[in-house]
Structure 1
Amino acid sequence: MAKKSQKIKPKPKKKTEPENKTKLTPAENKKQKKIDSMSFEDKLWETAELLIGAVSPSEYKNIALGLMFVKFISDRYEERRKEIEKETNNPKSEIYCKTEEKRKYWLNLKDQYSSKGIFYLKEGDRWSDLKKIISTEKNLGIKIDAMLDQIEKDNSSLAGVLPKVFSGAPIPNDNLQQLVELFDSITTHDHSKDAFGRIYEYFMRNFSKKLGEKGGEFFTPESIVRLLVEILEPYQGIVYDPTCGSGGMFVQSYKFLKAHKDENQNTKQGISIYGIEKKNEVLRICKMNLAIRGIESKNIVLGDCFLDHPHSKLKANRVLANPPFNLREWGYDKLKEDARFQKYGIPTPSKAGGNYAFMEHMLYHLDEKDGRMGIVLANGSMASGGTEGKIRQNMIEDDILDCMIALPTNLFFTVTIPACLWFFTKNKDDGKTRKRKGETLFIDARKIFTKIDRVLNELSEEQIEQIAGTYRSYIGEKGHPKYKDIPGYCKVATRDEIAKNNYVLTPGRYVGAEDIEDDDEPFEEKMKRLTTEYAKLSEESAKLDKEIRKNLKEIGFEI
Structure 2
Amino acid sequence: MNDKVKQDDINKALWDACDTFRGTISADTYKDFILTMLFLKYISDVWQDHYDTYQKEHGDSPELIEALMKSERFVLPRDASFYALYDRRYEAKNGERIDKALQAIEEENGTKLKEAGTSVFQDISFNTHKLGEEKQKNEILRALLEHFDKPELNLKLSRVGTLDVIGNAYEYLIKRFAAGGGQKAGEFYTPPEVSDLMAELLDPQPGDTICDPACGSASLLIKCGARVRTKHGSKNYALFGQEAIGSTWALAKMNMFLHGEDNHRIEWGDTLRNPKLLDKKGGLMLFSLVTANPPFSLSDWWAQDELGNNEVDKFDRFHRGMPPKTKGDFAFISHMLETLDPVKGRMGVVVPHGVLFRGSSEGKIRQQVIDENLLDAVIGLPEKLFYGTGIPAAILIFKKNKIDKNVLFIDASREYKSNKNQNELSPENIAKIVATYREGDSVEKYAYIASLKEIQDNDYNLNIPRYVDTFEEEEEIDLVAVREERLALTAQLNALEVEMAGYLKELGYE
Shorter chain as normaliser: what TM range?
0.7 to 0.9
The residue correspondences of 1:37-186 to structure 2 (distance < 5 A) are 40-49=10-19, 52-88=22-58, 100-107=61-68, 110=70, 112-113=71-72, 117=73, 119-134=74-89, 136-157=90-111, 158-159=113-114, 160-162=119-121, 164-168=124-128, 169-170=131-132, 172-184=137-149, 185-186=152-153
Q: What is the deviation of 1:321?
A: 0.5
Go from structure 1 to structure 2 and tell me whether the alpha carbon gap of 1:405 and 1:318 turns closer, same or farther (over 3 Å shift).
same
The whole-number CA distance in structure 1 between the counterparts of 2:321 and 2:228 is: 36
The whole-number CA distance in structure 2 between the counterparts of 1:269 and 1:128 is: 33
CA contact (8 A) 1:488 1:508 kept: no
User: Per-residue CA shift, 1:351-374, capped at 9, x if unaligned?
Assistant: 2xx111110000000001110000
Q: Which residue of 2 aligns with 1:15?
A: none
- Counterpart of 2:464, as a letter, is P
Q: What is the deviation of 1:142?
A: 2.0
Say whether 1:242 aligns with 2:213. Answer: yes
User: Per-residue CA shift, 1:262-300, capped at 9, x if unaligned?
Assistant: 5xxxxx762111111111111111111111111126511
The residue correspondences of 1:184-203 to structure 2 (distance < 5 A) are 184=149, 185-188=152-155, 189=157, 191-203=161-173
CA contact (8 A) 1:148 1:164 kept: no
> Aligned with 1:270: secondary structure?
coil
Q: Which residue of 1 aligns with 2:224?
A: 253
Q: Structure 1: which 5+ runs fail to align?
A: 1-37, 90-98, 263-267, 430-436, 475-483, 548-559
Q: Which residue of 2 aligns with 1:415?
A: 389
Q: What is the deviation of 1:303?
A: 1.0
Q: Which residue of 1 aligns with 2:374?
A: 400
Q: Which residue of 2 aligns with 1:499?
A: 456
The whole-number CA distance in structure 1 between the counterparts of 2:21 and 2:177 is: 16
Go from structure 1 to structure 2 and tell me whether the alpha carbon gap of 1:218 and 1:428 turns closer, same or farther (over 3 Å shift).
same
Q: What is the deviation of 1:343?
A: 3.9
CA contact (8 A) 1:336 1:346 kept: no
CA contact (8 A) 1:404 1:441 kept: yes
> Aligned with 1:137: secondary structure?
coil
- Counterpart of 1:531, as a letter, is V
The whole-number CA distance in structure 1 between the counterparts of 2:39 and 2:302 is: 36
Q: Which residue of 2 aligns with 1:283?
A: 249
> Aligned with 2:79: secondary structure?
coil
- Counterpart of 1:287, as a letter, is K
The whole-number CA distance in structure 2 between the counterparts of 1:342 and 1:127 is: 49
> Aligned with 1:334: secondary structure?
coil
- Counterpart of 2:43, as a letter, is I
The whole-number CA distance in structure 2 between the counterparts of 1:538 and 1:161 is: 78
- Counterpart of 2:450, as a letter, is A
Counterpart of 1:229 (choices 183, 199, 203) is: 199
CA contact (8 A) 2:188 2:216 kept: yes
> Aligned with 1:307: secondary structure?
coil
Following TM superposition, the consecutive aligned residue runs of length 4 or more in structure 1 with deviations greater than 6 angstroms are 515-518, 541-545
The residue correspondences of 1:24-39 to structure 2 (distance < 5 A) are none
Go from structure 1 to structure 2 and tell me whether the alpha carbon gap of 1:101 and 1:208 turns closer, same or farther (over 3 Å shift).
closer
Q: What is the deviation of 1:336?
A: 6.7
Q: Which residue of 1 aligns with 2:361?
A: 387
CA contact (8 A) 1:276 1:305 kept: yes
Worse-matched range after superposition: 313-322 or 484-493 = 484-493
CA contact (8 A) 2:177 2:186 kept: no
Q: Which residue of 2 aligns with 1:375?
A: 349
The whole-number CA distance in structure 1 between the counterparts of 2:143 and 2:257 is: 25
User: Per-residue CA shift, 1:428-457, capped at 9, x if unaligned?
Assistant: 23xxxxxxx11110000110100111x110
Go from structure 1 to structure 2 and tell me whether the alpha carbon gap of 1:298 and 1:401 turns closer, same or farther (over 3 Å shift).
closer
- Counterpart of 2:185, as a letter, is G
Go from structure 1 to structure 2 and tell me whether the alpha carbon gap of 1:186 and 1:387 turns closer, same or farther (over 3 Å shift).
same
User: Per-residue CA shift, 1:212-235, capped at 9, x if unaligned?
Assistant: 222232111111111111100112
Go from structure 1 to structure 2 and tell me whether the alpha carbon gap of 1:222 and 1:337 turns closer, same or farther (over 3 Å shift).
closer
Normalising by structure 1, report the TM-score: 0.77
User: Per-residue CA shift, 1:169-226, capped at 9, x if unaligned?
Assistant: 3354334323222223323215331111111111111111233222232111111111
CA contact (8 A) 1:243 1:277 kept: yes
Go from structure 1 to structure 2 and tell me whether the alpha carbon gap of 1:541 and 1:140 turns closer, same or farther (over 3 Å shift).
farther
Counterpart of 1:330 (choices 276, 280, 301) is: 301
Normalising by structure 2, report the TM-score: 0.84
Go from structure 1 to structure 2 and tell me whether the alpha carbon gap of 1:269 and 1:154 turns closer, same or farther (over 3 Å shift).
closer
Say whether 1:212 aligns with 2:169. Answer: no
Go from structure 1 to structure 2 and tell me whether the alpha carbon gap of 1:342 and 1:177 turns closer, same or farther (over 3 Å shift).
closer
User: Per-residue CA shift, 1:87-145, capped at 9, x if unaligned?
Assistant: 536xxxxxxxxx5453354255x2x11xxx2x2112111122223222x3233222211
Counterpart of 1:348 (choices 302, 305, 324) is: 324
The whole-number CA distance in structure 1 between the counterparts of 2:217 and 2:491 is: 64
CA contact (8 A) 1:287 1:297 kept: no
User: Per-residue CA shift, 1:29-77, capped at 9, x if unaligned?
Assistant: xxxxxxxxx8542353145225543122122111101110001111121
Go from structure 1 to structure 2 and tell me whether the alpha carbon gap of 1:395 and 1:40 turns closer, same or farther (over 3 Å shift).
same
The residue correspondences of 1:258-277 to structure 2 (distance < 5 A) are 258-262=229-233, 270-277=236-243
Q: What is the deviation of 1:399?
A: 0.7
CA contact (8 A) 2:21 2:30 kept: no
The whole-number CA distance in structure 2 between the counterparts of 1:43 and 1:401 is: 45
Q: Which residue of 2 aligns with 1:457?
A: 423
Q: What is the deviation of 1:533?
A: 4.1
CA contact (8 A) 2:178 2:185 kept: yes
CA contact (8 A) 2:273 2:312 kept: no
The whole-number CA distance in structure 1 between the counterparts of 2:147 and 2:486 is: 64
CA contact (8 A) 2:448 2:468 kept: yes
The whole-number CA distance in structure 2 between the counterparts of 1:198 and 1:269 is: 20
> Aligned with 1:340: secondary structure?
coil
> Aligned with 2:379: secondary structure?
strand
Q: Which residue of 1 aligns with 2:484?
A: 535
Go from structure 1 to structure 2 and tell me whether the alpha carbon gap of 1:76 and 1:336 turns closer, same or farther (over 3 Å shift).
closer
Worse-matched range after superposition: 304-313 or 273-282 = 304-313
- Among all aligned residue pairs of Structure 1 and Structure 2, give the percentage whose two residues are the same amino acid: 31
Q: Which residue of 2 aligns with 1:34?
A: none
- Counterpart of 2:86, as a letter, is K
**How many residue pairs end up in the alignment?**
463
